[in-house]
Amino acid sequence: QVQLQESGPGLVKPSQTLSLTCTVSGGSISSGFHYWSWIRQPAGKGLEYIGRVYSSGSTDYNPSLKSRVTISLDTSKNQFSLNLNSVTAADTAVYFCARVQADNRAYDYWGQGTLVTVSS
Amino acid sequence: QSALTQPRSVSGSPGQSVTISCTGTSSDVGRYDYVSWYQQHPGRAPKFIIYDVTKRPSGVPDRFSGTKSGNTASLTISGLQAEDEADYYCSSYGGGYTFVVFGGGTKLTVL
């Protein structure tokens, strides 16, 4: 059974960098059959796609966040990471990591989510 | 790439059926059979319930079904149960190097 688990600070100061890691168990992030994605959800709002990384290391980002986002892989640890810089209160949200099937782009496994609050 | 359009809320009584629509464009929903649906209970992660427009992952009850017509996909939940009360999101592939977009979400209330 594939499991994903987000980890990282729950509180980030404005203008600093939000950094989260997703640890994957039960499957390899190098498989080539999946993308690995970050999605966020502000309180009471819908899901927002942040970006994704493929096993080759290629990435795709939401155009609205592209200038501030980096997603990367660490295959040795079976993890992928999110860095979002120059954060503001608008970046406060629950952040989910998820596995995406490469053939049909369905998000089949999700982490439980982690709340990140941007505040001084 | 624009978000997909869903009704903000729908409701139904136990045992009834409800349908949630998801309207995109000829570049995403209308062009590809890569529509997925997710169920999210409060405080929980989304759960994958439909993929490829009509297919159900293992373990998802057959009360949940998906269809598509033109640029609009639909999720129907039949035999409504109290546990179905949740938010539902659709997503669709948009082709090329664009990626998956999500609908705005629909809150299902079981009366």
User: Does the structure show a pLDDT above 90 at B100?
Assistant: no
Selecting from A46, A105, A108 the residue whose C-beta is nearest the C-beta of B89 gives A46
What mean pLDDT do residues A77-84 have? 97
Q: Determine the 3-state secondary structure of B82 from DSSP.
A: helix
Would you call A69 helix, strand, or coil by DSSP?
strand
Q: Measured between CB atoms, which of A49, A106, A111 is closest to B45?
A: A111
> Average pLDDT over chain B, rounded to whole?
92
Residue of A nearest to B3 (CA): A48
Q: Is A113 left (phi over 0), alpha (psi -120 to 50) or beta?
A: left
**Contact assignment for A46 to B103 by CB distance below 8 Å:** yes
> What pLDDT does A31 receive?
82
pLDDT tens for residues A4-47?
999 999 999 999 999 999 999 999 999 888 999 999 999 999 99
Cα B31 from Cα B44, distance rounded (Å): 31
Of B45, B48, B99, the CB nearest to A60: B99
Summarised one tens digit per residue, pLDDT across range B6-53 is 999 999 999 999 999 999 999 889 999 999 999 999 999 999 999 999
Identify whether the C-beta of residue A2 lies closer than 8 Å to the C-beta of residue A26: yes
Residues on chain A touching B86 (C-beta within 8 angstroms): none
Give SS3 for A91.
helix
Categorize the per-residue pLDDT at A91 as very low, low, confident or very high, splitting at 50, 70 and 90: very high
